[in-house]
Each structure stands twice: as structure tokens, then as C-alpha cells.
Chains A and B, each alone.
Chain A
Amino acid sequence: MQSKILLQQNFEIKGGDFINAGESSIKIRNILKDIGIDSDIIRRVAIVAYEAEMNVVMYARHGKMHLYVYSNKILLKIEDRGQGIKDIDLAMQPGYSTATEEMREMGFGAGMGLPNIKKNSDVFNINSTIREGTKLEIKINLNNKNG
């Protein structure tokens, strides 16, 4: 059953912008704090958003992140234009990474991003087309913390 949208926000993410990477996720965290969402749910949404945002910064040219807050769930949609993921099963394996040295110097690219997004989601969907881009859809329930 679809419940009413209480809040919707969109964020632009620029590929390769390591300086500002993470700002959208901090904004999302602050929005959820302001509307009084449970702190553990906020932590999970923020981790998902941050990992997804870093993936766009590291691997895509441009991306958009959409936040939807419903009365019973939080939905995050992230879509990017970029190289896409060749083998999603492989990318989902913890430790598998195609990161460059620059990404690793930032403390990322350890191959934990997608597995960590999935771990913190109640529902996780990923679609990717080579040389076009990747779409993620993540649902986190508000009434069932550990889903």
C-alpha cells in the first residue's frame, strides 16, 4: 500500500568532485534530523546516501539523488550518467573494486560501497547499462528498524 509523500528533495551530484563529495548526504541527514526521524534510521539512510554519492563522484560524470519520505518508509533513488557496471554480481562482492589511486587516497574504493548500501537497506534494487549509467533504488522502513 502506497502511503502519502511527506517530503521530497532532489540533489545534484557532480562526477569527479571529490572536494564537495558527501555534501548532499549530510543535507539529507540534517533534513531527517529536523523532522525527528529515529537516529538509527537516520544513520542507515545517511550511510546509504553517502556510499551512493561517493560512487557517483568516483565513477560517473553526473548524478541525481532523490529523497522521498513517506509516513512508513524512506525511499532513495540515485541515478547517474557514466560508465555503468559491467558485472553487478561481482560489484556486489565485498572487497571487489575498480577504484583508482586517487579514490583510495580519499579513503574510499575499498569495494565495500554497494555491499554496505545493501546491508543498510530493507529493499535494494540496482540496474546498470554499460556506457550509460546506473540506477539505485533503496527503501528503508520506518516502522521496522532492522527490516
Chain B
Amino acid sequence: MTLDAIIKLLNAKFLVGPRDSIIDIKFAKASDLMSDVLAFSEPCSVADTILVTGLTNKQVVRTCEIAGVCAIVFVRGKNPPADTIKLAQNSKIPILVTKLKMFEACGTLYSNGIKGASSKKGK
């Protein structure tokens, strides 16, 4: 699924736009705990995973870089501080923001074919 399709589904907007229009999202993980995002990070060679979170500090972007997550959705209409946006621009990690709550955003993505990142295991 493209980021543009996710924008439509979640009624979201880009805060940091994608540099690469061919990002194809297949998996998602959702957490406000960056330690858990790292601890349950699956082997990945392809950029196909998005993080859904309500946490908006710089460490979210760094965690995505480290864990190989290729885009971020901020839920509950949370706008990140300027230094988070700047780091995401430098790191080329797109940021989307939606007014949906975490549960609603995840449910919408799941019911439209995005799977949990843990289902990557054993591929």
C-alpha cells in the first residue's frame, strides 16, 4: 500500500513527505514504547513497515532508523516538535499525522490488508 493510500484511509496529512514514491507498506507496528519497537524488531531487507505511535519526540525517528521502519503515523492529531520534523527530513523518514486514535488507526490499516510486523517472521 502506498503512503498516499494510507493518507486517504486515515484521513491524514503529510508533515514530512516521502522522497521515494515507491514505498510499498505491507506491515505495521504500533507502540508508544520505543524499547518495545526495538525489542520486537524483525529482520527486514525491504522498507515495508510503518510505525503507528502517539509519541512525538526525536527518539521516535531514531528508533525507526535503527529498527528499519520506513515511515511514521502520529495518531490523536499530535503534532511533533520542530526538532522531530527536522530529524525526519534529514533521515528521509516520512511523517503522517491523523486525528484518529491509536486503536482506530490500527484497525483501519489492518482491515485494509496491512499486517502486524510480527507476521514477517518465518517468511
Which residues from chain A sit less than 8 Å from chain B, CB to CB? 18-19, 21-23, 25-26, 29, 39-40, 43, 46-47, 50-51, 94, 105-113, 115-116, 119
Contact = CB atoms under 8 A, between A and B. Distances in A.
B67 A108 contact: no
Interface stretch (B9-17, B34-42, B103-111): B34-42
Contacts of B62: 21-23, 25-26, 50
A106 B68 contact: no
Given A22-B59, A110-B33, A43 B39 contact: no
Nearest to A26: B65
A112 B43 contact: no
A115 B45 CA distance: 24
A110 B36 CA distance: 8
Per DSSP, chain A at the interface is helix
Contacts of B60: 107
B35 A43 contact: no
B66 A113 contact: no
Contacts of A46: 65-66
16 contacts: A21-B59, A22-B62, A26-B65, A26-B66, A43-B44, A43-B68, A46-B65, A47-B41, A50-B38, A51-B35, A106-B34, A107-B32, A107-B37, A107-B55, A108-B35, A112-B36
